[in-house]
Chain A
C-alpha cells in the first residue's frame, strides 16, 4: 500500500520569505513519482512540480523546488520568495504504476497562509 503524510495542517510565512512544506511517503515499489499540487480557495488543483524516484537531481520549477531525500522517503516542497497569491492548500501526491496504475494517492494537505 502507498501512503503520503503531510504533518503540517497549517503554515504561515511572511511575504518574500521562503517556506518548506513537508511530505513523507511510504511505498515498497522501486519506481514511483511524486507530485505537488496547489489548491486555491476557488477549488481547482494546479500542478506545481514533479520528482521521479530515479531522478538524480532535485526538481525545480521557477520559485518551486523539491527537496528529495530518497533514503528518508521525504519530498519537501520549498517555495522561495513567497507571494500573497501563494496562500492556498498544498497537496503532496504519489503514483506507482506497480501498485496503483496511474491513480494518485494524496496526502491530507497543508494550508499555507502568506502574510503581508
Chain B
C-alpha cells in the first residue's frame, strides 16, 4: 500500500510557467519534506512543514513555495521554472520533529521528475 504518494510521476512544464507538484500521505506523520534531486546528486532539502509550521532552508530560492492545507497533503509550487529547476522532486514524511534514532526515518514518495522546456 502506497503511503506517500506523489502526483504526477512525470511533469513537463514550459520555461516560466508556474507548476505545482502534489504529495499526499496516509501515515498521519507530523512532518513533510520537499527535496530537490538533480541527476546523480544527493537530495537537497528545500523546506519542511512541522504540522502547519513552514520552515525554509536558508538557500532555497524564493521561486519555490509550499502549501500544506491539511495533515495529509503538501504542495510544491514553482512560480517561474527555469531550465536549472529540472530535477526529481521527492516528498517525504517523518513521524515528528526533534526526535532522533530510528524514529527519524524519512518515508519517501516515488518522486516527480520535472522537465522544463
A and B associate in one complex: yes
Question: Is A108 at the interface (CB under 8 A from chain B)?
Answer: yes
A102-B98 in contact given A35-B105, A44-B111 (Cβ < 8 Å) = yes
Contact B41–A108 (Cβ < 8 Å): yes
- In the bound complex, CA of A50 to CA of B103 (Å): 10
Which stretch (A17-25, A74-82, A91-99) binds chain B? A91-99
- In the complex, are the beta carbons of A103 and B48 less than 8 A apart? yes
Q: Which residues of B contact A (CB under 8 A)?
A: 31, 33, 40-43, 45, 48, 88, 90, 92, 94, 96-102, 104-111, 113
A43 in complex: contacting residue of B41, B45, B104, B113, CB < 8 Å: B113
A44–B100 touching, CB < 8 Å: no
The residue that A101 contacts in the complex, of B43, B90, B98, B106, with Cβ under 8 A, is B98
Do A45 and B98 form a contact, CB below 8 Å, given A35-B105, A106-B42? no
In the complex, the answer to whether A91 meets B42 with C-beta atoms within 8 Å is: yes
Binding site for B on A (CB under 8 A): 31-33, 35, 37, 42-47, 50, 52, 91, 95-97, 101-104, 106-109, 111
- Count of chain A to chain B residue pairs whose CB atoms are closer than 8 Å in the complex: 68
- Is A52's CB under 8 angstroms from B99's CB? no
Question: CA of A87 to CA of B87 in the docked complex: distance in angstroms?
Answer: 21
Asked if A45 and B108 sit within 8 Å, CB to CB, the answer is yes
CB closest chain-B residue, reference A6? B42
Contacting residues, chain B, for A104 (C-beta < 8 A): 45, 104, 106
Given contacts A103-B33, A104-B104, 5 further A-B contacts (CB under 8 A): A50-B102, A52-B100, A97-B98, A102-B100, A108-B41
8 contacts between A and B (CB under 8 A): A33-B102, A33-B104, A45-B106, A50-B101, A97-B99, A97-B100, A108-B41, A108-B42
Docked Cα-Cα span, A59 to B102, in Å, equals 12
Q: How far is the CB of A61 from chain B (nearest CB, A)?
A: 12
Chain B residues closer than 8 Å to A109, beta-carbon distance = 40-42
